[in-house]
Amino acid sequence: MTPATTPLPPAVLPRDRSDLVVVGAGIIGLAHAVEAVRRGLRVTVVERDRRPVGASVRNFGHCCVTAQRGELLDLATRSRAGWLDAAARAGLWAPEAGALVVARSVTELAVLEELREERGADAVRLRTRDEVGDALGRPAHQRGDLAGGALLPADLRVDPREAAPRLAAWLAEQPGVRIVWGTNVTGVETGSVHTSRGPVRGERILLCVGHDLDRLYPVEAEAHGIERCRLSMARIEAPAALRTDAAVLTATSMLRYDAFTATPSATALRAEVERHGAELLGIGANVMFTRLPDGSVLVGDSHAYDLTEIPFQDEAVSVLLLREVARVLGVREVRVTERWQGVYASSSRGPLFVRDLAPGVRALSVTSGVGMTLSFGLAAATFDGTLRATA
Ligand SMILES: Cc1cc2nc3c(=O)[nH]c(=O)nc-3n(C[C@H](O)[C@H](O)[C@H](O)COP(=O)(O)OP(=O)(O)OC[C@H]3O[C@@H](n4cnc5c(N)ncnc54)[C@H](O)[C@@H]3O)c2cc1C
């Protein structure tokens, strides 16, 4: 059951000018607020809802470091350190559990071997069929379809249900920080944020509204080709034998992340999945799962793109995903306890939207579905001035 939330005090707008006003209490806004506090700044966070309910609480909580490449790998590596520091300060669950990529064919294994060649045996630790079988809790006689796998130890896990709310609660206790809930931002200009309760003033303003950027800046969002990506998610009871706390990824995951798609065997992998898993490709599946501290397991996901997301969840998509998760776990079926839809900002023009809209006003949205991974790295780069505006 979803826990009841503590009632919040009535929203009171600060009268004085903050060093930084952050719009949006998702992980991107909160990571920036945490980074600002580290630097001794006075921060106000303005959030239209009464608690975080956006993409940041609907995801897997997987800080997917090793699967990134180039600039995103640098940001993700930096973010990892930021997450661990924030977890220590705010008391978050953030095990260094890594990610386990399950290979069920020699082609999948070849992709992992090639990534190990590139990154080294410490970053990509190949696993035998039995090691993968043990982690998944599969009995010895049910491992015939496993080829092996790889542990990516740099990946982190956090609990998405807990991380943003607890960071917000921790921030609210810090001197010089105000969080104003239930207050919609209607416009932004240099030095001032216009809200449904009146103006909030700040030296710098950072707009971290995720996929809702088009509500405030439609022209800029359209120019960057920002769409809403809709994902089907579910929570299941964990099979009793499941052992691993790593995020578990599969072949369809390997087709989505740059580190895998850049390997020589990636083309053969795509052809193989097209032959044997066309239905999964048809729903844009990234079949993966992560175990929460209470033992339940988050499973997903599918991807559908549109400017405005349709609200209806096709049961056939869920059935397909759950069947595939059950196969990976080696069980006949899984018991679903919750279903929901997640939405994030997406663009084929690039993984990030960073735009200076007016002096002292910046908008930042992750447009590639890896905001949990990049959040603290982006925040660090924002404050040290290395995060450049995107074209
Ligand atoms: C199902 C799913 C699974 C995912 N899995 C992962 C994963 O495992 N790893 C990973 O790295 N990433 C994952 N992602 C992506 C990641 O969740 C997002 O990239 C990230 O959460 C975006 O954070 P955000 O703060 O920009 O957006 P959000 O969390 O959506 O926060 C934006 C906030 O802005 C507020 N807001 C909007 N407009 C206004 C306004 N006008 N006034 C005031 N407040 C406003 C909203 O209410 C919201 O709270 C996943 C996403 C989904 C949906």
Tell me which residue has its CA closest to atom 12 in ligand 1. 370
Burial letters for 156-183: b for 16+ Cβ neighbours within 10 Å, e otherwise? Answer: bbbbbbbbbbbbbebbeebeebbbbbeb
Together in a domain, 242 and 329: yes
Which of the four pLDDT bands, split at 50, 70 and 90, describes residue 391? confident
Which of the four pLDDT bands, split at 50, 70 and 90, describes residue 9? low
Task: Give residue-wise pLDDT tens across range 190-222.
Answer: 999 999 999 999 999 999 999 999 999 999 999
Residues with CB under 6 A from ligand 1: 23-29, 46-49, 52, 54-56, 58-60, 62, 64, 184-185, 208-210, 212, 215-216, 231, 233, 300-301, 342-344, 365-366, 369-373
Tell me which residue has its CA closest to atom 38 in ligand 1. 209
**Residue 116 reports pLDDT greater than 90:** yes
Strand partners, 356: 362
Together in a domain, 25 and 170: yes
Together in a domain, 172 and 309: no
Strand partners, 233: 300, 340
CATH code assigned at 62: 3.50.50.60
How many Å lie between the centroid of ligand 1 and the Cα of residue 206? 15
Together in a domain, 252 and 123: yes
Task: Give residue-wise pLDDT tens across range 283-308.
Answer: 999 999 999 999 999 999 999 999 99
Together in a domain, 149 and 26: no
Give me the number of domains the chain comprises. 2
> What pLDDT shows up at residue 14?
85
Tell me which residue has its CA closest to atom 37 in ligand 1. 209
Which atom of ligand 1 sits closest to the CA of residue 49? 47
In a domain, 79, yes or no: yes
The radius of gyration of the chain from alpha carbons, rounded to an integer in Å, stands at 21
Together in a domain, 179 and 305: no
**Residue 1 reports pLDDT greater than 50:** no
In a domain, 176, yes or no: yes
Contact present, 266 and 376 (Cβ < 8 Å): no
Together in a domain, 299 and 169: no
Contact present, 139 and 125 (Cβ < 8 Å): no
In a domain, 3, yes or no: no
Mean pLDDT, range 100-117, rounded to an integer: 98
Together in a domain, 185 and 325: no
Together in a domain, 253 and 297: yes
In a domain, 172, yes or no: yes
CATH code assigned at 339: 3.30.9.10
Q: How far is CA 128 from the centre of its chain?
A: 28
In a domain, 6, yes or no: no
Q: Return the best residue to mutate from 23, 46, 56 for the ligand 1 pocket (most ligand atoms within 8 A of CB).
A: 56
Q: Domain limits at 363? A: 18-91+159-225+349-384
Contact present, 183 and 197 (Cβ < 8 Å): yes
In a domain, 103, yes or no: yes
| Percent of the chain with pLDDT strictly greater than 90 | 95
In a domain, 12, yes or no: no
Together in a domain, 196 and 291: no
In a domain, 390, yes or no: no
Together in a domain, 174 and 319: no
Together in a domain, 169 and 271: no
